[in-house]
Amino acid sequence: MEAHGSEHQTPRKRRREGSNGETDDSQRLAKAPRRTVGLREPAPFADELETVKTPYVRVTMEEAQRGTPPDRPVRVYADGIFDMFHSGHARALMQAKSLFPNTHLIVGVCNDDLTHKFKGFTVMNEDERYDAVSHCRYVDEVVRNAPWTLTPEFLAKHRIDFVAHDDIPYISAGSDDVYEHIKRAGMFAPTQRTEGISTSDIITRIVRDYDVYVRRNLQRGYTAKELNVSFINEKKYHLQEHVDKVKQKVRDVEEKSKEFVQKVEEKSIDLIQKWEEKSREFIGNFLQMFGPDGALKHMLKEGRGRMLQAISPRHSPDSSPTQEERPPSPAFRLPFFTRTSPPSSPPLHSGANSISEDEDEED
């Protein structure tokens, strides 16, 4: 009698797979526009609503699918235990709400006595389960203390047109299918189950990892008495917690050490690469300066040639003219040292010259 959900196509982005298993991006569903659709109040309980006095006349499947007037919605009933209310429950109620264009969804929740008798012990009590269902956005009305098997009187009292549930036979209370008479009456509207999520699956996870969740609640301040844990187990859990903390610290140190070593390696690689580049550059410059054909060799050759040229005597060229062949060099006279010679006197006769010479000798 537990209600189940189904895989319902929502406006969220999803991908469809082609025949070869690849994702077809061209067939993505469009995103839904942003809007505020939340309700401000929970769904009311059926026993708190006014009694409808108009005659109860069921609508047919054709009329419901075609659409009913706004003042006469199709009344769909879905029942269940709804323990630890999860997404599978919400999807089942969403399907029931979406069966017809104009649907009023009534949800019946069984009390603790019936549930413990026919199904087993629950984690949440009946009041918690009533409250959880009333806060589901798809629910219009909640029936507390719902019956395990639906009777004609119950259907007429709540003016139910159709009953929504998955079509798998529900064996319980000595019956092969508690919904068999509803199916024969043409009032059954099937929904689909949601695989991978159920109350039993959630409880199985908790039982499987019992120690983990006990230690979790001990950390959060719950006492061993509240968790029904013995004194020895409490100390064991605390010891395990300390050991796990030490292991976590060791893992953190290892991770930090790995990060440090990785950074050192990266820096070492960078330094080695830079050193190699600088060493290549230095060797290249050294060879360019001091190598066999380096600049230093050329400089030494050039300097040696200039030195030899400076200290060796210069030879006159064979084609140079001799002293006799050279033209006389012009006399250099300063203009202010030159004297103007007096005009030359006419030459005397030889007799006169001789007389003057004799006079000089006498003197």
Buried b (16+ CB within 10 A) or exposed e, 55-75: eeebbeeeebeeebeeeebbb
pLDDT at res. 21: 44
Cα separation, 54 vs 48, in Å, equals: 18
3 state DSSP class of 55: coil
pLDDT at res. 206: 92
**CA nearest to 2, candidates 79, 113, 85:** 79
Residue corresponding to tokens 């001799």 = 322
pLDDT at res. 316: 55
At 239, the amino acid letter reads: L
What is the pLDDT of the chain when averaged over all its residues?
81
Cα separation, 241 vs 218, in Å, equals: 10
Is the per-residue pLDDT at 284 higher than 70? yes
Q: For the domain 61-196, what is the CATH superfamily, name and number?
A: HUPs (3.40.50.620)
> Is 6 within 8 Å of 191 (Cβ atoms)?
yes
pLDDT at res. 318: 57
* Strongest mean pLDDT among 16-30, 142-156, 264-278, 347-361: 142-156
Residue corresponding to tokens 């719902």 = 146
Mean pLDDT of 35-40: 72
Per-residue pLDDT of 188-207, as tens digits, reads 999 999 998 999 999 999 99
pLDDT at res. 25: 52
pLDDT-based confidence at residue 53 (cuts at 50, 70, 90):
confident
pLDDT at res. 93: 97
**CA nearest to 166, candidates 178, 154, 158, 155:** 178
| pLDDT greater at residue 29 or residue 74 | 74
Per-residue pLDDT of 168-191, as tens digits, reads 888 887 788 999 999 999 999 999
> Is 189 within 8 Å of 105 (Cβ atoms)?
no
Is the per-residue pLDDT at 18 higher than 50? no
pLDDT-based confidence at residue 111 (cuts at 50, 70, 90):
very high
DSSP E strand stretches across 287-349: none
pLDDT at res. 241: 85
Cα separation, 29 vs 6, in Å, equals: 19
pLDDT at res. 28: 58
| Token pair of 109 as six digits | 């929740």
Mean pLDDT of 8-17: 39
> Is 89 within 8 Å of 5 (Cβ atoms)?
yes
Q: How do the domains of the chain map onto residue ranges? A: 61-196, 200-295
Is the per-residue pLDDT at 311 higher than 90? no
Cα separation, 159 vs 56, in Å, equals: 6
Cα separation, 107 vs 160, in Å, equals: 11
Cα separation, 234 vs 241, in Å, equals: 11
Rg (C-alpha) for the chain, rounded Å, is 59
Mean pLDDT of 312-321: 60
At 242, the amino acid letter reads: H
pLDDT-based confidence at residue 117 (cuts at 50, 70, 90):
very high
User: How far from 159 is each of 72, 74, 78, 163, 272, CA to CA, in Å?
Assistant: 11, 10, 13, 11, 86
- Taking the C-alpha atoms of 298, 303, 305 and 310 in order, what is their torsion angle to the nearest 10 degrees? 170
Mean pLDDT of 147-160: 95
| pLDDT greater at residue 52 or residue 363 | 52
Cα separation, 2 vs 146, in Å, equals: 12
